[in-house]
Each structure stands twice: as C-alpha cells, then as structure tokens.
A and B are shown apart, each in its own frame.
Chain A
Amino acid sequence: MSEDLKILDEVTNSDYKWGFVSNIESDNAPKGLNEDIVRFISLKKSEPEWLLQWRLKAFRHWLTMTEPKWPNVSYPEIDFQDIIYYSAPKKKPTLNSLDELDPEIKATFDKLGISLIEQQRLAGVAVDAVIDSVSVKTTFRETLAELGIIFCSFSEAVHDHPELIKKYLGSVVPYTDNFYAALNSAVFSDGSFCYIPKGVRCPMELSTYFRINSAGTGQFERTLIVAEEGAQVSYLEGCTAPMRDENQLHAAVVEIVSHTDANVKYSTVQNWYPGDKNGKGGIYNFVTKRGICLGDRAKISWTQVETGSAITWKYPSVILKGDYSIGEFYSVAVTNNMQQADTGTKMIHLGKNTRSVIVSKGISCGRSQNSYRGLVKIGKNASYARNFSQCDSLLIGDKCGAHTFPYLEVANKTAKVEHEATTSKVGEDQIFYCNQRGISTEDAVNLIVNGYCKEVFNQLPMEFAVEAQKLLSISLEGSVG
C-alpha cells in the first residue's frame, strides 16, 4: 500500500467529536407506531382537531406505502415498531427566561457551540434549537417581531398562527409525496416556523439547531418557511447527535414558499453521527426538502454540506412555477468509512424563463459510497428555461465509490440544459507536491479537498463556511495514511 493510501486509511478513522450524551430527563412515548401514538403526540402538543385529522390521514396513507428501494444505498430493514416517536425533555423550559432553561440542555448547546444568550446579537444569528422532538428556545424573537417576522417553534406556530400553518402545511410536500414524508406528517413533533412579511428583508441569519439525544428515538421535525412578496431571508440549519450503537432514524420535512420577488436561502451543515468505522450505529437521514417559487422572479437557493449520517437520502428541490424564477443547489457531500449517501436535487421548471444551477461536489473516502442523483425537468410551458448542472466526484483512496445518476426530462424545445460531470482522485502527485513544500499529508488532503469545495463554501454565510471547513477536515481525518 502506498504512503498516500495509508494516510487515506488513517484519516478515515477519526472519532466523532459531537458524540456526547446529555443527561436530560425526557418524557417518552412508548415504542411503536399506531393511531394511538399519533393521537398521543397530537394530544401532548394540545393540537387543534384539524391538525390531528391531517396527521391521521397521513398515517393511514403511510400504511399503504412501501419504503423506497431505488436509492443506491443498502441497510437492514427498519423496524418502524421499534422506534420511539416522541421524546421531549421533561422539564419544559419557559421561553420567557433563559435562567429557567434546564442547565443540562444549556450545557448541551454550549458544547455544540451555540450560545442561546442574546449576546448572539453580535453574531447576528437567531437560533431555534430542537432537542429530540421539542423546540427548546428561540432567541431574538422580540427583535424579529418588530419587523413582523415570525420565527418560532412549529408547535407554537400551530397555536399562535394557525391560519398560516393551515394554508401552507403540506402545500409543497404533501403527505402523499413519499414514504418518509408521510411518516413525518403523521408523527412530526416539532420544528421551526419562519414567516417573513411582504417587503421585509430579515436583518439576521435565522438558524435552527437539531440534536437527537435520547436513545432509540427518531427525530421527525418539520420546517416551514414562507417569504411573502419581495421578502428576503437566509436560513441556517445545523445537526448533531450522540454516538450510539443502534441506528437512529431522522425523517424531516422542510417546505419553503417563496412568493413574487422573494428570496430564500437555506443552508445546511449536517453532521449527524455517521456510525463507527465498521458501520455500526449512525443516523439514517431520510429527508424531504422542497421549495416552491410561487411568484415571478422568486428565488430559492439550497446550500448543503453533508458530512454526517450513516445514510443520507436527500434531494432539496425547487419547483420553479413563477416566470423568471431561480432555483439553486450547491452541495458538498462527504462520505467516509462505511457511510452511504444518495443525494442531489430536483429542479422542476414550470414557468417561462426560469433558471436553475446545480453544483454538486461529492467526496468519497474509506469504504463509503457516494451517489449524486438529480432530476432536471422542463415542463412544456417553460419556454426558454435554462439549467446548468455540474457534478464532480472526488475519490480519496481506492475502496470507495462515486456514482452519478442525472435525469433529464425536457418537454420544451426552447429550453437549454447543460450537464458537466467529472470524477477525479486526490492524486499522489498533488499530495507529494504539498509535502515537498513542508505541508503534511493530512493538511494537504484538507487543502486539496477544500479547494475542490470552494465553489460551494463560497455560497455559505461566513461563520458557517468556517464551520463547514472544520467539519470537512474532521470528516476527512484518517482518510489518508
């Protein structure tokens, strides 16, 4: 084995640094799933009847569905009766005072590096933190409220803004959409809601932090973002979980509605526990994310940095309904050890002169498998629609795999669709060149991979980009010997 391969091998053997378990008392539902559990969750959240009925419809529909088998991933069958569908920290914190926040939860967030203290104003980030199933604290709510911006947990929104939830819930991702979206619709426990009124430009980054803490639980959060005409918002999402031997399910749904001239930017840094190097444990991240550009000149931009999870199954998509609307997808997906990722996007062009850009950077190391799967669909009325896709794969070592599955469906002759794809290896020549300039192999791999991801990192807000780079280097640790 050459030196580089040895290094690759070692770098892929790093430990997960967010693997702590917080000792927070939690209030769990019994294991398993049936209508009673759905009712239990709805009751726990004191939901209105219409929402319970919606959940039950979703649940009944879910029963008729089967797990999708088309992704290029393999895992043992999931026993959906062996999962706890609701887990809430027991001491329910009041939202009025930080002092009343459970010190353990606070310590957890401190470890994660997200301070809930309003000093965060300096960083200009408002945070909604979700532990297991419940949204714990939303910072800066008052500041935002002055502008008419609503940023709160999903359950609160159900109570305080039912008309908005009723109008938009399931409007982009209906519960019939797919197996996991249906499951989420039945059992979702909390999440974030964000509403930007007409003409308002959100003055700070909004951020949600998700963490799965309890054993044997699934996390099913729902995020709904609505930007009214001419509104603008940048939304960040971060995720971590403790190390556990068993696999945990995370099936979230994110819906974005962007009205005329509105602009929504959604950035994710996903770092769920990926499992150990033999593939034991880790999160199954089966997520449905979709946005719709409802009005003309609306824009939705997805940026994701996926470094965690045992399995990632995720296609943040944009439906380009309004004329001249724009959809963007920038992605870095890293797989190491035994991780598997099948991720990409769907750009559905319905309106005229709609434009979409896809930049996907896959990085595979260890014995991992990394697939890009993307659909570009041009409807028959989408005259002069344009898409540009670039899908690059980078291989580190010789035991991993990279795959690309691009799908193109073009029903309008005036459309212009471009697809570029490359596959490359981190070359021994590149590493040696860096070595010869005094740079260690591990630093060299980081440098090379960061260079490769630059286009995507440039899309991230500054602080997030720094975090993404750090995460990337941690994920790559041990990938080179």
Chain B
Amino acid sequence: MLSIKNLQAAVEGKQILNGLNFEVKPGEVHAIMGPNGSGKSTLASVLAGREEYEVSGGSVSFLGTDLLEMSPEDRARAGLFLAFQYPVEIPGVSNANFLKTAVNEIRKARGEEILDSKAFLKLMNEKMKLVEMDKAMTQRSVNEGFSGGEKKRNEIFQMAMLEPKLSILDETDSGLDIDALRIVSNGVNALRTPDRSFIVITHYQRLLDYIVPDFVHVLYKGRIVKSGTKDLALELEEKGYDWIKEEIAVGA
C-alpha cells in the first residue's frame, strides 16, 4: 500500500524528517507516537502533498506509483485521505455541497459515474449514522462555527463518504471528550476492512484502546526509532519517551 524509503523533508529551511522508513500493508492500522516536534504532523503533511514542505530526499510509493510526483488532489483521488488536526472553515459552502463536489471528483477519477442528488443524499444519510451526525450539520457551512469535537467528527464523516484506501488521522483525538472519542473511534472501526489501511497519529494511548493498532511506532527526530505492537503504546504511556531517547543516545 504505502512504502516510504529514507524520506527527508524540511519546512522553512528546517530539516524535520531525517531518513524515515515506513511500510504499510493493506488492512493494517499503524499508530505513530512521539514527543512534540518529532515530525509526526510533518509526515502527514508531506504525504498529503502540502506545498510548504520540501522533500529533499527519499521516495514514497503509494499503490505502486510515485506519490511525491502527484498533486495533492491526485493523491486524494488515488485514495489517500488526511483527517486534519485543524480542519479549515469554508464560509458559505454547505458541508453537503462541499462533499458532493469532492465525492464526484473522486468518482470521476476512479472512472465511476457521478452521483446525482438523490443517490448522494442516500449515501450521506447512510454515512451520517456512522458518526452519529445530526442532519443539520450537513447544511451548515463547512466547519464554520463547529465545536472542536464537531470538526473532528466531520473529518471522519468525510472519510466515510470518500472511502479512501489509506487514511491518515492527524491527532484526531486531541480536544475530544470521552463521548466524542468513542464516536470517532467507532466511525473509524466501522471503516476497517482487509484492504483499507490507517495511520493514526496520536499523543495518547487512550485512543488506541478504541482503535486497536497492529503496530505502534515511535517517531523521534524525524525517524522511526522504535516499533512494536500495541503494548509499546502502554509502555510509553507509563514511562514517557526519555528511556527511548536514552537508548538512542547510547546506540549513537
């Protein structure tokens, strides 16, 4: 699905990713943890194709094609989805209208027929249930005046609508209360299939009680320095990151 080799990237001249290697196979859920400033969000941005991030080396292959050569919209159309840490507001554009445009762009790219309003509504009603979303929210402007929890729920709703192959959740759990966390996690779990993969970026082990990962990785100074199973997350929760930093210092 996704194969990252020796990825190096900088933002505003500052090197953030320093030769990152990472492999995701179909159906896998990978959690990425790590201290602040270790490069987690940078990784998400680079994969999604945000322009301010400059890739200076390495390669990323997504479903057999060179991801780094693709425009952000082509990456999305190919099935890569980013649930934003800070979803953007678009005043005056209804959630439904926005999603209809997005869904049909992606369908076009897949060679599928464009959904008419009726078919779209049906799909929307179905997916809204996944995240227990109120119908009124689809008529409101994209993220405008949404609470933090609503914004995150809206991201998962969009994900459900677009049916991506690889979803990257960038700190989707930050700022969520317990109920919202459960709803968001249920939404994600409902979308898990043997051919869909997830990268879950988080600071907290708690989320991984709900979305149980196949692998947990620790990102530090722009590299994956430790990988393990979900037990690693528990260990991190208990001991923090210092012991890993020390291991690296010793190793160096």
A interface list, Cβ under 8 A from B: 2-4, 427-430, 432-441, 443, 447-448, 450-455
Q: Is B201 an interface residue (CB 8 A)?
A: no
Q: Which chain B residues border A2 with CB–CB below 8 Å?
A: 51-52
Bound form: Cα–Cα A117–B89 in Å: 45
Q: Which chain A residues border B90 with CB–CB below 8 Å?
A: 430, 433-434, 447-448, 451
Q: Which chain B residues border A448 with CB–CB below 8 Å?
A: 90, 93
Chain B, Cβ-Cβ closest to A435: B72
Q: Which chain B residues border A455 with CB–CB below 8 Å?
A: 92
Chain A, Cβ-Cβ closest to B83: A436
Q: Is B172 an interface residue (CB 8 A)?
A: no
Q: Is B82 an interface residue (CB 8 A)?
A: yes
Q: Are A435 and B93 in contact (CB under 8 A)?
A: no
Bound form: Cα–Cα A429–B48 in Å: 13
Taking A3-B51, A430-B89, A451-B90 as known contacts, 4 extra A-B pairs with beta carbons closer than 8 A to each other, sorted by chain A number, are A436-B81, A438-B102, A438-B106, A440-B73
Q: Are B87 and A438 in contact (CB under 8 A)?
A: no
Q: Which chain A residues border B71 with CB–CB below 8 Å?
A: 435
The 9 closest A-B pairs by CB, nearest first: A451-B92, A451-B93, A435-B72, A437-B102, A454-B92, A438-B76, A438-B105, A433-B88, A438-B106
Prevailing SS type, chain A contact patch: helix
Q: Are A447 and B101 in contact (CB under 8 A)?
A: yes
Q: Are A437 and B158 in contact (CB under 8 A)?
A: yes
Q: Are B101 and A436 in contact (CB under 8 A)?
A: no
Q: Are B92 and A437 in contact (CB under 8 A)?
A: no
| CB proximity to A under 8 Å, residues B37-66 | 48-52
Q: Are A451 and B162 in contact (CB under 8 A)?
A: no
Q: Which chain B residues border A437 with CB–CB below 8 Å?
A: 76, 98-99, 102, 105-106, 158, 162
Query: What are 15 A-B pairs with beta-carbon distances under 8 A?
Result: A427-B88, A432-B50, A432-B51, A432-B72, A433-B90, A436-B49, A436-B76, A437-B76, A437-B102, A437-B105, A438-B105, A438-B162, A439-B73, A450-B93, A454-B93
Q: Are A435 and B92 in contact (CB under 8 A)?
A: no
Q: Are A450 and B106 in contact (CB under 8 A)?
A: no
Q: Are B88 and A429 in contact (CB under 8 A)?
A: yes
Q: Are B101 and A453 in contact (CB under 8 A)?
A: no
Q: Which chain A residues border B105 with CB–CB below 8 Å?
A: 437-440, 443
Nearest-Cβ distance from residue B153 to partner chain A, whole angstroms? 16
Q: Are B93 and A447 in contact (CB under 8 A)?
A: yes
Interface flags for B85-114 (1: CB within 8 Å of A; 0: not) read 001111111000111011001100100000
Q: Are B92 and A433 in contact (CB under 8 A)?
A: no
Q: Which chain A residues border B221 with CB–CB below 8 Å?
A: none
Q: Is B223 an interface residue (CB 8 A)?
A: no
Q: Which chain A residues border B50 with CB–CB below 8 Å?
A: 432
Q: Which chain A residues border B109 with CB–CB below 8 Å?
A: 438
Nearest-Cβ distance from residue B196 to partner chain A, whole angstroms? 17
Q: Which chain B residues border A433 with CB–CB below 8 Å?
A: 84, 87-88, 90
Q: Which chain B residues border A447 with CB–CB below 8 Å?
A: 90, 93, 97-98, 101
Bound form: Cα–Cα A448–B141 in Å: 11
Most chain A CB within a 10 A radius of its CB, from B73, B91, B106: B73
Chain A, Cβ-Cβ closest to B82: A436
Q: Which chain B residues border A438 with CB–CB below 8 Å?
A: 73, 76-77, 102, 105-106, 109, 162
Bound form: Cα–Cα A4–B51 in Å: 9
User: Given A429-B88, A447-B101, is A436 in contact with B48 using a C-beta cutoff of 8 Å?
Assistant: yes
Q: Which chain A residues border B97 with CB–CB below 8 Å?
A: 447
Chain A, Cβ-Cβ closest to B105: A438
Chain B, Cβ-Cβ closest to A451: B92
Chain B, Cβ-Cβ closest to A448: B90
Q: Which chain B residues border A451 with CB–CB below 8 Å?
A: 90-93, 141
Q: Are A452 and B102 in contact (CB under 8 A)?
A: no
Q: Which chain B residues border A434 with CB–CB below 8 Å?
A: 90, 98, 102
Chain A, Cβ-Cβ closest to B101: A439
Bound form: Cα–Cα A436–B109 in Å: 14
Q: Which chain B residues border A440 with CB–CB below 8 Å?
A: 73, 105
Bound form: Cα–Cα A441–B76 in Å: 13
Bound form: Cα–Cα A2–B52 in Å: 8
Nearest-Cβ distance from residue B103 to partner chain A, whole angstroms? 8
Q: Are B72 and A436 in contact (CB under 8 A)?
A: yes
Chain A, Cβ-Cβ closest to B104: A438
Q: Which chain A residues border B75 with CB–CB below 8 Å?
A: 436
Chain A, Cβ-Cβ closest to B84: A433
Nearest-Cβ distance from residue A465 to partner chain B, whole angstroms? 14
Most chain A CB within a 10 A radius of its CB, from B76, B84, B88, B158: B88
User: Given A435-B49, A436-B72, is A452 in contact with B91 using a C-beta cutoff of 8 Å?
Assistant: yes
Chain A, Cβ-Cβ closest to B103: A438
Q: Are B73 and A452 in contact (CB under 8 A)?
A: no
User: Given A436-B82, A437-B162, A439-B105, is A450 in contact with B92 using a C-beta cutoff of 8 Å?
Assistant: yes
Bound form: Cα–Cα A428–B50 in Å: 10
Most chain B CB within a 10 A radius of its CB, from A433, A438, A451, A453: A438
Bound form: Cα–Cα A427–B98 in Å: 16
Nearest-Cβ distance from residue B31 to partner chain A, whole angstroms? 21
Bound form: Cα–Cα A430–B87 in Å: 9
